[in-house]
């Protein structure tokens, strides 16, 4: 009986790791894609990175579904099953947000003015940092869940920081001489980048609840 139980949850742990690797790939492509677009615009290389983000996001989705099926096949306690499904769904929104953001560039090809170009890498960094903390939070859930509570606080700080930066650049955009449509287009793009840290915050909250629930 032991190998049966052990193997089932062992393979889920492995599947979660491969799921996270796909999410990593999507986030990397998102970061590289945005940097490339800011540098040289919508080139062949950018299109490849956009495609890469999309493929990695789809693969993550497939792995998540596979994990769900496995979980329903009695691999874990019902409460752990629910918590894990909730955690994966919340994480899944992160590559979804990243893919959505890079896709705005691919479809709309907005012209990014220089004063916006200077700030976007900073906003991007904060969002990428928030995701790297999610990566740590997932490791913590797998090893020492109490750690998740501290990571959640850090992610909260990153998310607030990203919000402040967004607020500032939007003020600058709307005070500029750009066309209203252009302003709105830039607003939508910048908001889409910050959705990554928003979703990271949601996911971290979810993981904190999982850790708190296991305190007796």
Interface with other proteins by CB under 8 A: which residues?
1, 5-6, 9, 12-13, 74, 76-80, 83-84, 141-146, 210, 213-216
Degrees, nearest 5: CA angle 201-204-208: 135
Q: Report yes or no: 110 and 43 within 8 Å, Cβ to Cβ.
A: no
Cβ distance to other proteins smaller for residue 79 or 108: 79
Q: How far is the CB of 89 from other proteins (least distance, A)?
A: 15
Q: How far is the CB of 3 from other proteins (least distance, A)?
A: 12
Q: How far is the CB of 163 from other proteins (least distance, A)?
A: 30
CA diameter of the chain: 71
Q: Classify 216 as helix, strand or coil.
A: coil
Q: Classify 214 as helix, strand or coil.
A: coil
Q: How far is the CB of 131 from other proteins (least distance, A)?
A: 20
Cβ distance to other proteins smaller for residue 134 or 165: 134
Cβ distance to other proteins smaller for residue 13 or 177: 13
Residues in the chain: 216
Q: Report yes or no: 60 and 94 within 8 Å, Cβ to Cβ.
A: no
Q: Report yes or no: 111 and 148 within 8 Å, Cβ to Cβ.
A: no
Cβ distance to other proteins smaller for residue 168 or 214: 214
Q: Report yes or no: 133 and 204 within 8 Å, Cβ to Cβ.
A: yes
Q: How far is the CB of 78 from other proteins (least distance, A)?
A: 5
């Amino acid at each position: 009986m032991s190998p049966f139980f052990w193997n089932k949850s062992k393979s889920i742990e492995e599947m979660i790791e491969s799921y996270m690797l796909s999410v990593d790939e999507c986030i990397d492509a998102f970061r590289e894609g945005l940097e490339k677009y800011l540098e040289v615009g919508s080139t062949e290389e950018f299109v490849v990175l956009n495609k890469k983000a999309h493929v990695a996001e789809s693969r993550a989705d497939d792995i998540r579904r596979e994990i769900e099926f496995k979980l329903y096949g009695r691999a874990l306690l019902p409460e752990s099953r629910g918590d894990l499904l909730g955690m994966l769904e919340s994480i899944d929104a992160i590559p979804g947000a990243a893919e959505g953001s890079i896709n705005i560039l691919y479809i709309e090809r907005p012209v990014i003015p220089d004063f916006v170009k200077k700030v976007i890498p900073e906003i991007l960094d904060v969002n990428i940092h928030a995701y790297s903390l999610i990566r740590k939070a997932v490791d913590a859930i797998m090893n020492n869940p109490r750690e998740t509570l501290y990571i959640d606080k850090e992610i909260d700080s990153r998310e607030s920081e990203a919000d402040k930066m967004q607020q500032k650049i939007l003020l600058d955009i709307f005070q500029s001489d750009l066309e209203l449509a252009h302003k709105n287009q830039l607003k939508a793009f910048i908001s889409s980048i910050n959705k990554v840290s928003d979703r990271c915050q949601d996911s971290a909250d979810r993981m904190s609840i999982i850790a708190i629930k296991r305190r007796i």
